[in-house]
Structure 1
Amino acid sequence: MAENEREGYQFIGWYIDPQYTKRINPGGKLPGAVTLYDKWVPIIYPVRYQCNGGINSRRNPRYVSVETGVKKLYPPQKKGMRFVGWSLDGKLIEYLPPRITRPITLEAQFRELCTVRFESNGGGRIPDKTTDEFGMIELFRPPMRMGYEFAGWYLDENLTFPFEFDMQVNESMTLYAKWNVKMYDIRYHVDGGVSSRMNPKQYSYFDQDIVLAPARKKGYRFTGWFDARGNALNHIRHHSIGDKEFFARFEKEETGE
Protein backbone atom coordinates (compact mmCIF):
# COMPACT_ATOMS: atom_id res chain seq x y z
CA MET A 1 0.00 0.00 0.00
CA ALA A 2 1.39 3.42 -0.94
CA GLU A 3 2.28 6.02 1.68
CA ASN A 4 -0.88 8.00 1.13
CA GLU A 5 -3.18 4.99 1.01
CA ARG A 6 -5.38 3.59 3.74
CA GLU A 7 -7.76 0.72 3.02
CA GLY A 8 -11.35 1.87 2.96
CA TYR A 9 -10.47 5.56 3.23
CA GLN A 10 -9.81 8.46 0.88
CA PHE A 11 -6.94 10.84 1.63
CA ILE A 12 -8.13 14.46 1.79
CA GLY A 13 -4.90 16.29 2.51
CA TRP A 14 -2.45 17.56 5.12
CA TYR A 15 -3.45 20.06 7.80
CA ILE A 16 -1.42 22.06 10.26
CA ASP A 17 -4.00 21.79 13.05
CA PRO A 18 -5.66 18.71 14.61
CA GLN A 19 -9.11 20.22 13.99
CA TYR A 20 -8.48 20.01 10.22
CA THR A 21 -9.36 23.64 9.54
CA LYS A 22 -6.08 24.82 7.91
CA ARG A 23 -5.02 22.78 4.94
CA ILE A 24 -1.63 23.27 3.30
CA ASN A 25 -1.35 23.74 -0.43
CA PRO A 26 0.56 21.03 -2.29
CA GLY A 27 4.02 22.39 -3.16
CA GLY A 28 3.62 25.38 -0.82
CA LYS A 29 6.25 26.50 1.74
CA LEU A 30 5.90 25.52 5.37
CA PRO A 31 6.60 28.13 8.08
CA GLY A 32 9.58 26.36 9.67
CA ALA A 33 9.12 23.25 11.82
CA VAL A 34 5.48 22.23 11.99
CA THR A 35 3.43 19.15 12.79
CA LEU A 36 1.21 17.97 9.99
CA TYR A 37 -2.06 16.09 10.38
CA ASP A 38 -3.37 13.80 7.66
CA LYS A 39 -7.10 13.75 7.08
CA TRP A 40 -9.02 10.72 5.80
CA VAL A 41 -12.69 10.11 5.11
CA PRO A 42 -14.30 6.69 4.69
CA ILE A 43 -15.17 5.61 1.18
CA ILE A 44 -18.87 4.89 0.67
CA TYR A 45 -19.52 1.59 -1.12
CA PRO A 46 -22.86 0.54 -2.65
CA VAL A 47 -24.70 -2.60 -1.57
CA ARG A 48 -26.55 -4.25 -4.45
CA TYR A 49 -29.32 -6.80 -4.00
CA GLN A 50 -30.27 -9.51 -6.47
CA CYS A 51 -33.77 -10.50 -5.31
CA ASN A 52 -34.48 -13.12 -8.01
CA GLY A 53 -38.04 -11.99 -8.54
CA GLY A 54 -38.67 -10.97 -4.95
CA ILE A 55 -39.18 -7.54 -3.44
CA ASN A 56 -36.42 -6.25 -1.19
CA SER A 57 -37.05 -4.86 2.28
CA ARG A 58 -36.75 -1.08 2.55
CA ARG A 59 -34.87 -1.55 5.80
CA ASN A 60 -31.82 -3.11 4.14
CA PRO A 61 -28.80 -0.74 3.90
CA ARG A 62 -27.95 0.68 0.49
CA TYR A 63 -24.45 1.87 1.34
CA VAL A 64 -21.67 0.85 3.74
CA SER A 65 -18.18 1.98 4.62
CA VAL A 66 -15.19 0.71 6.56
CA GLU A 67 -16.67 2.41 9.63
CA THR A 68 -20.07 0.75 9.30
CA GLY A 69 -20.63 -1.75 12.08
CA VAL A 70 -22.49 -5.02 11.88
CA LYS A 71 -25.79 -4.51 10.06
CA LYS A 72 -28.83 -6.76 10.28
CA LEU A 73 -30.27 -7.88 6.95
CA TYR A 74 -34.02 -8.17 6.43
CA PRO A 75 -35.76 -10.74 4.20
CA PRO A 76 -37.25 -9.90 0.82
CA GLN A 77 -40.74 -11.11 -0.05
CA LYS A 78 -41.57 -13.48 -2.89
CA LYS A 79 -45.06 -14.91 -3.32
CA GLY A 80 -45.24 -18.67 -2.91
CA MET A 81 -41.60 -18.95 -1.83
CA ARG A 82 -39.74 -19.05 1.47
CA PHE A 83 -36.67 -16.88 1.98
CA VAL A 84 -33.62 -18.88 3.08
CA GLY A 85 -31.02 -16.15 3.40
CA TRP A 86 -28.78 -13.64 1.68
CA SER A 87 -25.74 -15.08 -0.09
CA LEU A 88 -22.44 -13.18 -0.02
CA ASP A 89 -19.53 -14.77 -1.88
CA GLY A 90 -21.32 -18.11 -1.76
CA LYS A 91 -22.07 -18.07 1.97
CA LEU A 92 -25.44 -17.43 3.62
CA ILE A 93 -25.37 -14.50 6.04
CA GLU A 94 -27.86 -12.80 8.35
CA TYR A 95 -25.75 -9.70 9.05
CA LEU A 96 -23.42 -7.56 7.00
CA PRO A 97 -19.92 -7.90 8.47
CA PRO A 98 -18.10 -4.81 9.78
CA ARG A 99 -15.25 -2.97 8.03
CA ILE A 100 -16.35 -3.51 4.45
CA THR A 101 -13.85 -2.06 1.97
CA ARG A 102 -15.44 -2.84 -1.40
CA PRO A 103 -18.79 -2.77 -3.19
CA ILE A 104 -20.78 -5.90 -2.42
CA THR A 105 -23.63 -7.79 -4.05
CA LEU A 106 -26.07 -9.93 -2.07
CA GLU A 107 -28.22 -12.59 -3.71
CA ALA A 108 -31.53 -13.71 -2.21
CA GLN A 109 -31.94 -17.46 -1.85
CA PHE A 110 -35.49 -18.88 -1.89
CA ARG A 111 -37.09 -22.30 -1.52
CA GLU A 112 -40.56 -23.50 -2.31
CA LEU A 113 -42.98 -23.48 0.63
CA CYS A 114 -43.10 -26.79 2.49
CA THR A 115 -46.13 -29.02 2.97
CA VAL A 116 -46.80 -30.55 6.39
CA ARG A 117 -49.00 -33.65 6.53
CA PHE A 118 -50.58 -35.08 9.67
CA GLU A 119 -51.04 -38.69 10.78
CA SER A 120 -53.65 -38.46 13.53
CA ASN A 121 -53.26 -42.11 14.63
CA GLY A 122 -56.97 -42.67 15.09
CA GLY A 123 -57.98 -39.07 15.74
CA GLY A 124 -59.89 -36.67 13.52
CA ARG A 125 -58.43 -35.84 10.13
CA ILE A 126 -56.22 -32.75 9.88
CA PRO A 127 -55.80 -31.33 6.34
CA ASP A 128 -52.32 -30.68 4.97
CA LYS A 129 -50.86 -27.29 5.81
CA THR A 130 -48.39 -25.10 3.94
CA THR A 131 -45.66 -23.18 5.72
CA ASP A 132 -45.48 -19.41 5.47
CA GLU A 133 -42.55 -17.53 3.96
CA PHE A 134 -40.63 -17.96 7.22
CA GLY A 135 -41.00 -21.74 7.27
CA MET A 136 -43.58 -21.73 10.09
CA ILE A 137 -47.04 -23.24 10.45
CA GLU A 138 -49.73 -21.57 12.51
CA LEU A 139 -50.95 -23.11 15.75
CA PHE A 140 -54.28 -24.87 15.24
CA ARG A 141 -56.83 -26.84 17.24
CA PRO A 142 -55.63 -30.44 17.79
CA PRO A 143 -57.68 -33.41 16.59
CA MET A 144 -60.07 -35.29 18.85
CA ARG A 145 -60.26 -38.99 19.65
CA MET A 146 -62.89 -40.59 21.82
CA GLY A 147 -61.47 -41.73 25.14
CA TYR A 148 -58.08 -40.11 24.64
CA GLU A 149 -56.40 -36.79 25.31
CA PHE A 150 -54.06 -35.30 22.74
CA ALA A 151 -50.40 -35.34 23.86
CA GLY A 152 -48.73 -33.44 21.01
CA TRP A 153 -47.30 -33.82 17.52
CA TYR A 154 -44.09 -35.76 16.91
CA LEU A 155 -41.54 -35.83 14.11
CA ASP A 156 -41.28 -39.63 13.98
CA GLU A 157 -43.63 -42.61 13.98
CA ASN A 158 -42.13 -43.87 17.23
CA LEU A 159 -43.20 -40.63 18.94
CA THR A 160 -39.70 -39.92 20.25
CA PHE A 161 -38.99 -36.40 19.01
CA PRO A 162 -41.69 -33.78 19.75
CA PHE A 163 -42.58 -31.02 17.32
CA GLU A 164 -43.05 -27.46 18.60
CA PHE A 165 -44.86 -24.76 16.65
CA ASP A 166 -41.92 -22.36 16.99
CA MET A 167 -39.77 -24.78 14.96
CA GLN A 168 -38.86 -23.77 11.42
CA VAL A 169 -39.85 -26.31 8.77
CA ASN A 170 -37.18 -26.65 6.07
CA GLU A 171 -38.66 -29.55 4.11
CA SER A 172 -41.99 -31.23 3.57
CA MET A 173 -42.77 -33.72 6.33
CA THR A 174 -45.37 -35.76 8.19
CA LEU A 175 -46.20 -35.18 11.85
CA TYR A 176 -47.58 -37.93 14.07
CA ALA A 177 -50.14 -37.51 16.86
CA LYS A 178 -49.51 -38.92 20.33
CA TRP A 179 -52.42 -39.89 22.56
CA ASN A 180 -52.84 -40.78 26.22
CA VAL A 181 -55.87 -42.60 27.55
CA LYS A 182 -58.12 -39.98 29.15
CA MET A 183 -58.86 -40.68 32.81
CA TYR A 184 -62.02 -39.23 34.37
CA ASP A 185 -62.44 -38.48 38.06
CA ILE A 186 -65.11 -40.01 40.27
CA ARG A 187 -66.29 -38.20 43.41
CA TYR A 188 -68.36 -39.82 46.14
CA HIS A 189 -70.55 -37.83 48.51
CA VAL A 190 -71.23 -40.10 51.47
CA ASP A 191 -73.08 -37.78 53.89
CA GLY A 192 -70.85 -38.65 56.82
CA GLY A 193 -70.40 -42.26 55.79
CA VAL A 194 -67.52 -44.14 54.17
CA SER A 195 -67.31 -45.32 50.56
CA SER A 196 -66.04 -48.83 49.86
CA ARG A 197 -62.36 -49.14 48.97
CA MET A 198 -63.48 -51.21 46.01
CA ASN A 199 -64.99 -48.13 44.36
CA PRO A 200 -62.49 -46.59 41.89
CA LYS A 201 -61.46 -42.94 42.00
CA GLN A 202 -60.99 -42.78 38.24
CA TYR A 203 -62.16 -44.58 35.13
CA SER A 204 -61.62 -44.50 31.37
CA TYR A 205 -63.75 -44.77 28.26
CA PHE A 206 -62.42 -48.31 27.75
CA ASP A 207 -63.29 -49.76 31.15
CA GLN A 208 -65.98 -52.40 31.29
CA ASP A 209 -69.16 -51.67 33.27
CA ILE A 210 -68.24 -50.61 36.80
CA VAL A 211 -70.74 -51.59 39.49
CA LEU A 212 -70.33 -49.48 42.63
CA ALA A 213 -70.04 -51.16 45.98
CA PRO A 214 -72.28 -49.78 48.78
CA ALA A 215 -71.19 -47.11 51.23
CA ARG A 216 -71.39 -47.56 54.99
CA LYS A 217 -72.61 -45.30 57.76
CA LYS A 218 -72.88 -46.35 61.36
CA GLY A 219 -76.48 -46.61 62.50
CA TYR A 220 -77.81 -46.32 58.96
CA ARG A 221 -78.74 -48.62 56.11
CA PHE A 222 -77.39 -47.83 52.67
CA THR A 223 -80.22 -47.44 50.14
CA GLY A 224 -78.23 -46.71 46.97
CA TRP A 225 -76.14 -44.34 44.88
CA PHE A 226 -77.77 -41.43 43.07
CA ASP A 227 -76.64 -38.83 40.55
CA ALA A 228 -76.86 -35.05 41.07
CA ARG A 229 -80.44 -35.01 39.69
CA GLY A 230 -81.60 -37.62 42.18
CA ASN A 231 -81.74 -40.51 39.73
CA ALA A 232 -80.73 -43.91 41.10
CA LEU A 233 -77.39 -44.88 39.57
CA ASN A 234 -75.12 -47.56 40.92
CA HIS A 235 -72.83 -48.17 37.95
CA ILE A 236 -70.74 -46.56 35.18
CA ARG A 237 -71.40 -48.04 31.77
CA HIS A 238 -68.73 -49.14 29.33
CA HIS A 239 -67.77 -46.27 26.93
CA SER A 240 -68.89 -43.53 29.33
CA ILE A 241 -67.05 -40.20 29.39
CA GLY A 242 -66.76 -37.24 31.73
CA ASP A 243 -66.18 -36.80 35.45
CA LYS A 244 -68.80 -38.44 37.66
CA GLU A 245 -70.38 -37.60 41.01
CA PHE A 246 -72.32 -40.07 43.11
CA PHE A 247 -74.39 -39.34 46.19
CA ALA A 248 -74.97 -42.01 48.83
CA ARG A 249 -78.37 -42.23 50.53
CA PHE A 250 -79.02 -43.84 53.88
CA GLU A 251 -81.99 -44.71 56.05
CA LYS A 252 -81.69 -44.67 59.79
CA GLU A 253 -81.83 -48.16 61.17
CA GLU A 254 -84.65 -48.88 63.59
CA THR A 255 -83.60 -50.00 67.01
CA GLY A 256 -85.79 -52.42 68.93
CA GLU A 257 -86.97 -51.49 72.43
Structure 2
Amino acid sequence: MTISLDCEILYPDSDGQPMADNTLQFRWIVLIKENLDLLFADQPDVFVAGDLLWYPVEGHPEIRVAPDALVAFGRPKGERGSYKQWEEDNIAPQVVFEILSPGNRLKEMSKKQQFYDDYGVEEYYIYNPDRNDLHGLYRTAEGLRAIEEIQNWISPRLGIRFVLTGTTLELYRPDGRPFLSFLQLEQRAEQERQRAEQADQRAQQADQRAEQERQRAEQERQRAEQERQRAERLAAQLRALGIDPES
Protein backbone atom coordinates (compact mmCIF):
# COMPACT_ATOMS: atom_id res chain seq x y z
CA MET A 1 0.00 0.00 0.00
CA THR A 2 1.30 3.44 -0.96
CA ILE A 3 0.67 6.36 1.42
CA SER A 4 0.70 9.86 -0.14
CA LEU A 5 1.63 12.74 2.12
CA ASP A 6 0.47 16.17 1.02
CA CYS A 7 3.04 18.51 2.52
CA GLU A 8 2.01 22.16 2.60
CA ILE A 9 4.74 24.53 1.56
CA LEU A 10 5.31 27.26 4.12
CA TYR A 11 6.08 30.84 3.17
CA PRO A 12 7.23 32.55 6.38
CA ASP A 13 6.12 36.14 6.96
CA SER A 14 9.48 36.98 8.50
CA ASP A 15 13.06 36.34 7.51
CA GLY A 16 14.27 36.85 11.07
CA GLN A 17 16.15 39.99 10.13
CA PRO A 18 15.48 43.38 11.75
CA MET A 19 13.72 46.03 9.70
CA ALA A 20 16.64 48.41 10.24
CA ASP A 21 20.12 48.34 11.74
CA ASN A 22 19.95 51.81 13.26
CA THR A 23 17.64 54.76 13.86
CA LEU A 24 18.79 56.68 10.79
CA GLN A 25 18.01 53.80 8.43
CA PHE A 26 14.68 53.20 10.16
CA ARG A 27 13.74 56.89 9.90
CA TRP A 28 14.36 56.88 6.14
CA ILE A 29 12.42 53.66 5.58
CA VAL A 30 9.43 55.07 7.47
CA LEU A 31 9.70 58.44 5.71
CA ILE A 32 9.61 56.90 2.23
CA LYS A 33 6.99 54.24 2.93
CA GLU A 34 4.56 56.54 4.74
CA ASN A 35 4.88 59.36 2.20
CA LEU A 36 4.23 56.90 -0.61
CA ASP A 37 1.14 55.80 1.30
CA LEU A 38 0.01 59.42 1.44
CA LEU A 39 0.81 59.95 -2.24
CA PHE A 40 -1.40 57.04 -3.34
CA ALA A 41 -3.99 57.21 -0.55
CA ASP A 42 -6.81 57.91 -3.01
CA GLN A 43 -5.83 55.16 -5.46
CA PRO A 44 -7.27 51.82 -4.28
CA ASP A 45 -5.24 49.81 -6.80
CA VAL A 46 -1.80 50.88 -5.57
CA PHE A 47 -0.28 48.76 -2.80
CA VAL A 48 2.57 50.18 -0.71
CA ALA A 49 4.52 48.22 1.89
CA GLY A 50 7.69 48.37 3.94
CA ASP A 51 9.96 45.47 4.91
CA LEU A 52 7.53 42.93 3.42
CA LEU A 53 8.79 39.59 2.13
CA TRP A 54 8.18 39.16 -1.60
CA TYR A 55 7.91 35.62 -2.95
CA PRO A 56 7.95 35.75 -6.77
CA VAL A 57 7.78 32.00 -7.50
CA GLU A 58 5.15 29.61 -6.19
CA GLY A 59 6.59 26.49 -4.64
CA HIS A 60 9.95 28.13 -3.91
CA PRO A 61 9.90 29.82 -0.49
CA GLU A 62 13.69 30.09 -0.62
CA ILE A 63 13.37 32.65 -3.45
CA ARG A 64 12.45 35.78 -1.57
CA VAL A 65 13.53 39.28 -0.64
CA ALA A 66 12.19 42.01 1.65
CA PRO A 67 12.66 45.47 0.10
CA ASP A 68 12.73 48.35 2.55
CA ALA A 69 9.79 49.79 0.59
CA LEU A 70 7.87 48.53 -2.42
CA VAL A 71 5.06 49.79 -4.62
CA ALA A 72 2.83 47.49 -6.66
CA PHE A 73 0.52 49.15 -9.17
CA GLY A 74 -2.60 47.21 -10.10
CA ARG A 75 -2.90 45.56 -6.68
CA PRO A 76 -5.48 46.46 -4.03
CA LYS A 77 -4.59 47.95 -0.69
CA GLY A 78 -4.94 45.73 2.34
CA GLU A 79 -3.07 43.76 4.95
CA ARG A 80 -0.65 41.02 3.92
CA GLY A 81 1.76 38.79 5.77
CA SER A 82 3.90 38.62 2.64
CA TYR A 83 3.62 39.42 -1.05
CA LYS A 84 3.04 36.13 -2.86
CA GLN A 85 3.20 37.13 -6.49
CA TRP A 86 1.05 34.26 -7.82
CA GLU A 87 -1.75 35.49 -5.52
CA GLU A 88 -1.36 39.04 -6.87
CA ASP A 89 -2.29 38.36 -10.51
CA ASN A 90 1.41 37.59 -10.99
CA ILE A 91 2.16 41.32 -10.78
CA ALA A 92 5.66 42.05 -9.50
CA PRO A 93 6.27 45.23 -7.47
CA GLN A 94 7.27 47.83 -10.04
CA VAL A 95 9.25 50.09 -7.70
CA VAL A 96 11.49 49.17 -4.77
CA PHE A 97 13.67 51.16 -2.37
CA GLU A 98 16.64 50.06 -0.32
CA ILE A 99 18.07 52.20 2.49
CA LEU A 100 21.64 51.18 3.24
CA SER A 101 23.27 50.91 6.63
CA PRO A 102 26.92 50.31 7.56
CA GLY A 103 26.03 46.61 7.86
CA ASN A 104 25.12 46.20 4.20
CA ARG A 105 27.68 44.36 2.11
CA LEU A 106 28.43 44.74 -1.59
CA LYS A 107 27.78 41.04 -2.23
CA GLU A 108 24.37 41.28 -0.54
CA MET A 109 23.38 44.35 -2.53
CA SER A 110 24.57 42.78 -5.77
CA LYS A 111 22.36 39.75 -5.09
CA LYS A 112 19.39 42.04 -4.45
CA GLN A 113 20.00 43.93 -7.67
CA GLN A 114 20.14 40.66 -9.60
CA PHE A 115 16.93 39.51 -7.89
CA TYR A 116 15.10 42.71 -8.85
CA ASP A 117 16.44 42.46 -12.37
CA ASP A 118 15.39 38.82 -12.72
CA TYR A 119 11.86 39.27 -11.36
CA GLY A 120 10.66 42.35 -13.21
CA VAL A 121 11.22 45.42 -11.03
CA GLU A 122 10.99 48.55 -13.19
CA GLU A 123 12.66 51.05 -10.87
CA TYR A 124 15.15 50.43 -8.07
CA TYR A 125 16.45 53.19 -5.80
CA ILE A 126 19.28 52.81 -3.29
CA TYR A 127 20.07 55.52 -0.74
CA ASN A 128 22.91 55.54 1.80
CA PRO A 129 22.01 58.21 4.37
CA ASP A 130 25.37 57.90 6.14
CA ARG A 131 27.20 58.90 2.97
CA ASN A 132 24.33 60.86 1.42
CA ASP A 133 24.75 58.72 -1.66
CA LEU A 134 21.88 57.96 -4.07
CA HIS A 135 21.77 55.51 -6.97
CA GLY A 136 18.91 54.46 -9.18
CA LEU A 137 18.20 51.89 -11.86
CA TYR A 138 15.37 51.66 -14.35
CA ARG A 139 14.27 48.91 -16.69
CA THR A 140 15.28 48.92 -20.34
CA ALA A 141 15.04 46.26 -23.02
CA GLU A 142 18.35 44.92 -21.65
CA GLY A 143 17.16 44.85 -18.03
CA LEU A 144 17.87 47.20 -15.14
CA ARG A 145 20.36 49.91 -16.06
CA ALA A 146 21.84 52.72 -13.99
CA ILE A 147 20.28 56.16 -14.11
CA GLU A 148 23.16 58.28 -15.34
CA GLU A 149 21.88 61.60 -13.97
CA ILE A 150 19.93 61.05 -10.75
CA GLN A 151 19.80 64.74 -9.75
CA ASN A 152 16.24 66.01 -10.31
CA TRP A 153 15.29 62.60 -11.71
CA ILE A 154 11.52 62.08 -11.85
CA SER A 155 10.32 58.54 -11.31
CA PRO A 156 8.31 57.37 -14.36
CA ARG A 157 6.02 55.29 -12.15
CA LEU A 158 5.75 57.40 -9.00
CA GLY A 159 6.11 60.90 -10.42
CA ILE A 160 8.28 61.90 -7.47
CA ARG A 161 11.44 63.99 -7.92
CA PHE A 162 14.80 63.20 -6.33
CA VAL A 163 17.01 66.09 -5.23
CA LEU A 164 20.39 65.37 -3.65
CA THR A 165 21.68 68.34 -1.66
CA GLY A 166 25.07 68.66 -0.01
CA THR A 167 23.76 67.07 3.20
CA THR A 168 20.67 64.99 2.46
CA LEU A 169 18.16 63.57 -0.01
CA GLU A 170 14.98 65.52 -0.69
CA LEU A 171 11.95 63.90 -2.30
CA TYR A 172 9.12 65.89 -3.86
CA ARG A 173 5.62 64.81 -4.80
CA PRO A 174 4.29 65.59 -8.31
CA ASP A 175 2.56 68.69 -6.91
CA GLY A 176 5.86 69.99 -5.53
CA ARG A 177 5.20 69.21 -1.89
CA PRO A 178 8.17 67.63 -0.08
CA PHE A 179 8.20 64.29 1.68
CA LEU A 180 7.87 65.08 5.40
CA SER A 181 8.24 63.04 8.56
CA PHE A 182 5.33 62.55 10.95
CA LEU A 183 6.93 65.12 13.27
CA GLN A 184 7.23 67.67 10.45
CA LEU A 185 3.67 66.96 9.32
CA GLU A 186 2.42 67.45 12.88
CA GLN A 187 4.42 70.66 13.24
CA ARG A 188 3.03 71.99 9.96
CA ALA A 189 -0.49 71.02 10.98
CA GLU A 190 0.00 72.84 14.29
CA GLN A 191 1.34 75.91 12.48
CA GLU A 192 -1.65 75.83 10.13
CA ARG A 193 -3.97 75.48 13.13
CA GLN A 194 -2.32 78.47 14.82
CA ARG A 195 -2.51 80.51 11.61
CA ALA A 196 -6.18 79.62 11.21
CA GLU A 197 -6.80 80.51 14.85
CA GLN A 198 -5.01 83.84 14.43
CA ALA A 199 -6.97 84.54 11.24
CA ASP A 200 -10.19 83.72 13.11
CA GLN A 201 -9.17 86.07 15.93
CA ARG A 202 -8.40 88.83 13.42
CA ALA A 203 -11.78 88.26 11.77
CA GLN A 204 -13.49 88.43 15.16
CA GLN A 205 -11.61 91.64 16.00
CA ALA A 206 -12.60 93.11 12.63
CA ASP A 207 -16.22 92.14 13.34
CA GLN A 208 -15.97 93.76 16.76
CA ARG A 209 -14.51 96.95 15.26
CA ALA A 210 -17.24 96.98 12.61
CA GLU A 211 -19.86 96.53 15.35
CA GLN A 212 -18.30 99.36 17.37
CA GLU A 213 -18.35 101.58 14.28
CA ARG A 214 -21.98 100.66 13.68
CA GLN A 215 -22.83 101.47 17.27
CA ARG A 216 -21.01 104.83 17.06
CA ALA A 217 -22.80 105.61 13.82
CA GLU A 218 -26.11 104.71 15.45
CA GLN A 219 -25.30 106.91 18.45
CA GLU A 220 -24.44 109.79 16.09
CA ARG A 221 -27.72 109.23 14.23
CA GLN A 222 -29.64 109.24 17.51
CA ARG A 223 -27.88 112.43 18.66
CA ALA A 224 -28.65 114.09 15.33
CA GLU A 225 -32.27 112.98 15.63
CA GLN A 226 -32.45 114.38 19.17
CA GLU A 227 -30.98 117.69 17.97
CA ARG A 228 -33.52 117.82 15.14
CA GLN A 229 -36.37 117.16 17.54
CA ARG A 230 -35.12 119.84 19.96
CA ALA A 231 -34.83 122.32 17.07
CA GLU A 232 -38.39 121.49 16.01
CA ARG A 233 -39.71 121.98 19.56
CA LEU A 234 -37.89 125.32 19.87
CA ALA A 235 -39.26 126.45 16.50
CA ALA A 236 -42.76 125.47 17.62
CA GLN A 237 -42.38 127.45 20.86
CA LEU A 238 -41.17 130.52 18.95
CA ARG A 239 -44.04 130.32 16.52
CA ALA A 240 -46.43 130.06 19.51
CA LEU A 241 -44.96 133.34 20.74
CA GLY A 242 -45.49 134.91 17.32
CA ILE A 243 -41.84 134.81 16.41
CA ASP A 244 -40.78 133.50 13.03
CA PRO A 245 -37.90 131.08 13.76
CA GLU A 246 -36.54 131.62 10.25
CA SER A 247 -36.18 135.41 10.68
TM over 0.5: no
Q: TM-score range by the shorter chain?
A: under 0.3
Max Rg structure: 1
Structure with the larger strand share: 1
Give the alignment's TM-score, normalised by structure 1: 0.20
Structure with the larger helix share: 2
Give the alignment's TM-score, normalised by structure 2: 0.20
